[in-house]
Amino acid sequence: MNLDALYSELTLKNDTKLALVVLDGVGDVAIKENNYMTPLEAAKTPNMDALTRDGAQGRMTPIAPGITPGSGPGHLALFGYDPIEYQVGRGVIEALGLGIDLKPGDVAARANFCTIDNEGIVTDRRAGRIPTELCEELCEKLSNEIKNIDDTEVIIKPGKGHRFVVVFRGKGMEGPLSDADPHREGLPIPKPAPVASKSVKVKKTAKMVAAFYEKALPLLAGASPANAFLMRGIAHQPEIPTFEERYGMRAACIAVYPMYKGLAQLVGMTKIEGAQNIEDEFRQYKAERDNYDFFFIHFKPTDMYGEDGNFEAKRKAIEEFDAALPILLENKPDVLVITGDHSTPCVIKGHSWHPEPVLLVSPYSGSDKLERFTETGSNLGSLGVFDAKYLLRLMQANAKRFDKFGA
C-alpha cells in the first residue's frame, strides 16, 4: 500500500484551524564574514522566541539532499505534494508569476524576444535586452493580431525586459515539448517536438506552437532588434489533486506576489486578494479565519534580500515579520508553522539546498525547550531532519486530523 493512500484513508475532518507561514528563503548559513551568525540568529525576534517555548523544531530537506528548488517545487513540497512526482513546467510557473489565471490543461511557455538574421539564424538570444516598454508594445501587437488559432485561445502577456509568456488555452493538448531555442547564437530556432510522450495531445501542442510561429514571425519581420522570439519550458498545467480532496481542508492563500498565489491556485487554494504587506496578510487571516481550515501565508522580503546578498536587510525583514506576528497571534491558529520554502543564503545570493528551519506550535507539539527559533537551534529539535513533503502530515497530526493506524 502506498503511503499517500494510507494518509488519505486515515484523514479526518474537524474544526481546527491551521496556518503555514512561509518566510521565503529565510534559512541561511553562518559564516565567518557575518561573525558566524545567520540573519535569523542576528535578528531580534521576541515574538517568535515566545512561541518556541511551546513548540517543536526541526529542519526540512526541501526536495532531496543537495537539491536546490525553485519556488514551484519548494512550495509544492510544503503543500504536501511530492515535488518529484508533481512537476510543473517553467512556462506554467512563469505564467503564474505574471498573474495569469491558469486552468488545468492550459499549455504555457516562457518566451523572449531575440534577433535573427535574413537566414533565420539567431544572432542575439535576448535582442539586446530590449526595455520592458518595447516588450509590452510588441506583445500588444501580437495579442491584437493573434487571439485564436483554430479552436484554441492564445494569451500573450509581457514580463520584464525581453521576457513574455504565451498560453494556449484549448482542448486536448499537453506537454512537455522541447524548446524552440537553440540555447546559443549561430543556429536557427528549432521546431519544438514531443519530449516524453508522443500522444495525440502532445502532437497537437507541437502543431499549435508551429502555427503560432507561422502567424507571429511575419508580424515582427523588419523590426529591430526584436524580430523574432524563443520559447522554452513548454508544458501544460498538470492535473493535481486539490488540497481539499487530499486533506479535507478548505484552504486560503494569503500572499502579496502573484507567483505564490498562482502556486497555491495550482492545488485549488482560494486566493485572498489585496494584501500589500505582512500586516495586511495577518489581518486578512483574522478576517477570513472562519471561512477556511487552512491558511498559507507568504512573506517575500527574506528571499529578495537573500538573493541580493544583503545580510542586514534580510535581518531587518525578519524583525519586521516578527513585529507583525502579534496580529496573527490575537486569534492564534490551532496549529502554527513558521518555516521557509528553501534557504536563500546571503553568501550564495540565490536559492540553496540547505534544510529549512521549521517551528511547529500546537497544544500537542510539546516543547523542545529551546530559547529561540534559529537554524542552529532547530538542529536540536524533536522533529529532526525530515523531507518537506511530510510537513503537512505533521500539521494534520497536530490538528488531530488523522485516525489511528491499525488496532
* Total of chain residues touching a second copy, rule CB under 8 A: 73
- The residue (of 170 and 377) whose beta carbon lies closer to a second copy is 377
Exactly one of 133, 150, 184, 404 binds a second copy (CB under 8 A); that residue is 404
Q: Answer yes or no whether residue 197 interacts with a second copy by CB under 8 A.
A: no
Q: Nearest-CA neighbor of 329 among 285, 275, 369?
A: 285
Query: What whole-number distance in Å separates Cα of residue 198 and Cα of residue 204?
Result: 10
- The residue (of 256 and 347) whose beta carbon lies closer to a second copy is 347
Exactly one of 68, 123, 143, 310 binds a second copy (CB under 8 A); that residue is 68
Ranges within 77-116 binding a second copy (CB under 8 A)? 83-85, 87-88, 90, 93-94
Q: Where are the beta strands (DSSP E) in 64-195?
A: 107-116, 122-124, 148-149, 152-158, 163-169
- Residue pair 175/102 in contact (Cβ under 8 Å)? The answer is no
Quote the least distance from Cβ 28 to a second copy, whole Å.
8
Query: What whole-number distance in Å separates Cα of residue 315 and Cα of residue 232?
Result: 36
Quote the least distance from Cβ 59 to a second copy, whole Å.
7
Quote the least distance from Cβ 173 to a second copy, whole Å.
20
Ranges within 298-357 binding a second copy (CB under 8 A)? 345, 347-348, 350-355
- Residue pair 265/96 in contact (Cβ under 8 Å)? The answer is yes
Quote the least distance from Cβ 386 to a second copy, whole Å.
6
Distant-in-sequence, close-in-space partners of 226: CB < 8 Å, separation ≥ 6: 113, 114, 115, 127, 130, 134, 135, 138, 162, 220
- The residue (of 194 and 225) whose beta carbon lies closer to a second copy is 194
Q: Answer yes or no whether residue 384 interacts with a second copy by CB under 8 A.
A: yes
Query: What whole-number distance in Å separates Cα of residue 278 and Cα of residue 305?
Result: 16
- The residue (of 30 and 177) whose beta carbon lies closer to a second copy is 30
Quote the least distance from Cβ 207 to a second copy, whole Å.
25
Quote the least distance from Cβ 120 to a second copy, whole Å.
28
Ranges within 2-61 binding a second copy (CB under 8 A)? 3, 6-7, 10, 28-32, 36, 38, 53-54, 59
Query: What whole-number distance in Å separates Cα of residue 363 and Cα of residue 278?
Result: 25
Ranges within 215-244 binding a second copy (CB under 8 A)? 233
The CA-to-CA distance between both ends of the chain, in Å, stands at 17
DSSP tag of 121: B
Q: Answer yes or no whether residue 386 interacts with a second copy by CB under 8 A.
A: yes
**Amino acid at site 74:** G
- Residue pair 318/38 in contact (Cβ under 8 Å)? The answer is no
- The residue (of 1 and 221) whose beta carbon lies closer to a second copy is 1
Quote the least distance from Cβ 71 to a second copy, whole Å.
7
